Structures are given as structure tokens and as C-alpha cells.
Amino acid sequence: MARSAILNVMVAAAAKAGRSLARDFGEVQNLQVSLKGPGDYVSQADKKAEDIIYSELSRARPGYGFLMEERGEVKGEDEQHRWIVDPLDGTTNFLHGIPLFAISIALERQGKIQAGLIYNPITDELYTAERGGGAFLNDRRLRVAARSRLADSVIGTGVPHLGRGHHGFYLVELRNVMAEVSGIRRMGSAALDLAYVAAGRMDGYWEDSLNAWDVAAGMLLIREAGGFCSTKEGKQDIFETGSIVAGNEAIHGALLKTIKKPVKTA
């Protein structure tokens, strides 16, 4: 595939940050046996990756703003463009030595996502998309899965945990979906979940309590791979609500209906 200049800039930044995370991941695995644990080390790895991405993107496109997990919003002189960055999505996986985490970078222009990437430096899988140009995994064109029935589908989700999300509401949704699908997967990285939907590895996905940096690149990947994304209400204000439902047209629609059903009693 031929990448634009802006996507090449993003890929270079992700690759450099990925090398840093891969080195730190090896150290975290060694720290698992220590009494103190690797928590402080992981927070430094996260910040280091964000610093690398911030530096690389700022040098390549001075004046662009940022929305980043650690720094928050950084206003730029160019009010039309904003980078949306998660330097380490799947921090808990990273902390426990589980190689399912990713860097997520998206470029927003006048409120619309123009380019995005998701990169897992451990598997060296690079997912990229540009608005109107399709979605790719390591230069191979992606399409969402073609399954049309929930009964044949594997669906990804994010499970609320300590201090996050409404556990009662989620359990209702989970029970509804469990009764309809072939399997449910919880990977621990929203960015990778969305990338897997774009790649057809999972047929659909839903989650709440997300931030813009969790989903910005993944939304574009899915849409450029022929899929659909919305809130649980079927609207497009995903950044504002923090909820997302994704899949091909049939699965997306079926998931929207299923998660809202009353709970079936045994």
C-alpha cells in the first residue's frame, strides 16, 4: 500500500515508541517476581512512550494540538488538527506480562478522524487506515467479517472492574449477549479489540466508559474495513458518551438490539 506523508510520520513515531515499550516489557516480565511489583516501572514506561510520540509528532507537524492519556489536552496553534494518542492501551496486560497491548494514534482534522494506526510492538502487527483509503494490517487490506448471525459470531467486550463502569447494567448486557452468540472475548485492550473487528478476527464489540484515545484510531479502521460504529443508542457521539458498539452492518444492528433486551429469566 502507498502511505501518505502524514501516515508515514505516524508510523515512524509508533515504531520508535514501540521499541521502547518492547524493551520495557521484557523488564516488567523480570520484575514479576519482586515483592514490590512492576507498577512504578510500568507507569514510567507509559510516560516514556508518550514522550517519544509527542516529540516525534511535534517535530514533524509543529502547531498541531494533542489529546493524550497522560498529558490531557494540549492546544496547538493550528486549531484544525489534533493528534489523539494512547501510548499504552492495555496497561494492566503490560503490568502482568501479557503481550496484548498497543499504541494508538489518530489524526483529527476539523472534528473528523483522517488517519489512524494501532500497533502491537510484541507481535509487530501494525493496523493503519486513512479516510477513504481503506484499512490495512501490515500492508494487507482488511475487511470486517461477513457473518450475519450472532449465533455464528465471536463478540469482544470490555468488562468493568474495580472503580470503573456500572457492574449491574453490564451484567444485564452480558447475559443478553451470552445467550445469543458463539463466544465472547475480553482482551484487555479496547484498541486491539477494535483492530480485531476490522481484521475480521472478531465479529463485533461493545464497551462503555471509554475515552477518545481508546477508540479514535479503531473507529476509523472499522469503518474503512466496511464496518459500522456507534454508541449504544445508535448515535455518533462516541467520544462524548464513552460507549461503542461495532461490527459489520448486520452484527452491529443485532448487537444494538440484544444489549437492550430485558433479561431472560431461567
Of the chain, the percentage scoring pLDDT greater than 90 comes to 83
For residue 212, what is the domain's CATH number? 3.40.190.80
Q: What is the pLDDT of residues 125-156, one digit of tens each?
A: 999 999 999 999 998 999 999 999 999 999 99
Residue 211 shares a structural domain with residue 133: no
Residue 162 shares a structural domain with residue 49: no
Residue 162 shares a structural domain with residue 62: no
Asked if residue 101 lies in contact with residue 195, where contact means CB atoms within 8 angstroms, the answer is: no
Residue 183 shares a structural domain with residue 62: no
Distance between CA atoms of residues 20 and 38, nearest Å: 16
Q: What is the pLDDT of residues 164-183, one digit of tens each?
A: 777 889 999 999 999 999 99
208-232 exposure pattern, b = at least 16 Cβ within 10 A, e = fewer: bebebbbbbbbbbbbbbbbbbbbbb
**Which SS3 state, helix, strand or coil, does residue 216 take?**
helix
Is residue 120 assigned to a domain?
yes
- Looking at the DSSP assignment, which residues form a beta bridge with residue 230? 245
Q: What is the pLDDT of residues 19-47, one digit of tens each?
A: 999 999 988 867 654 544 566 667 889 99
Residue 209 shares a structural domain with residue 126: no
Q: Name which of 142, 126, 144, 122 is nearest 134 in CA terms.
A: 142
Asked if residue 136 lies in contact with residue 128, where contact means CB atoms within 8 angstroms, the answer is: yes
In the numeric block, which cell numbers belong to residue 104?
494508538
Residue 10 shares a structural domain with residue 133: yes
**Which SS3 state, helix, strand or coil, does residue 18 take?**
helix
> What is the pLDDT, as a whole number, of residue 266?
47
> What is the pLDDT, as a whole number, of residue 46?
92
In the numeric block, which cell numbers belong to residue 265?
429469566
In the numeric block, which cell numbers belong to residue 109?
482534522
Cell 500492508 belongs to 139
For residue 111, what is the domain's CATH number? 3.30.540.10
Q: pLDDT class for 63, splitting at 50, 70, 90?
A: very high
Range of the domain at 222: 150-258
> What is the pLDDT, as a whole number, of residue 27?
86
Q: Which of 93, 113, 141 is the last residue of a domain?
A: 141
Residue 22 shares a structural domain with residue 81: yes
Residue 128 shares a structural domain with residue 161: no
In the numeric block, which cell numbers belong to residue 187?
482482551
Binding residues: 69, 86, 88-89, 214
For residue 104, what are the contacts with CB-CB under 8 A and spacing of at least 6?
A: 85, 86, 89, 116, 117, 118, 191, 213, 214, 216, 217, 218
Residue 26 shares a structural domain with residue 118: yes
Q: Among 3-7, 44-48, 210-214, where is mean pLDDT lowest? A: 44-48
Q: What is the pLDDT of residues 71-97, one digit of tens each?
A: 999 999 999 999 999 999 999 899 888
Residue 117 shares a structural domain with residue 186: no
Residue 181 shares a structural domain with residue 83: no
- Looking at the DSSP assignment, which residues form a beta bridge with residue 102? 89
Mean pLDDT of the chain: 93
Binding residues for Mg(2+): 69, 86, 88-89, 214
Q: Name which of 64, 65, 66, 29 is nearest 45 in CA terms.
A: 29
Of the chain, the percentage scoring pLDDT greater than 70 comes to 93
First to last CA, the chain: 52
Domains in the chain, number: 2
> What is the pLDDT, as a whole number, of residue 39?
64
Is residue 175 assigned to a domain?
yes
Q: What is the pLDDT of residues 94-110, one digit of tens each?
A: 988 899 999 999 999 99
Strands (E) located in the chain = 64-68, 72-74, 78-89, 102-109, 112-120, 125-130, 134-137, 140-141, 154-157, 183-185, 204-207, 228-230, 244-247
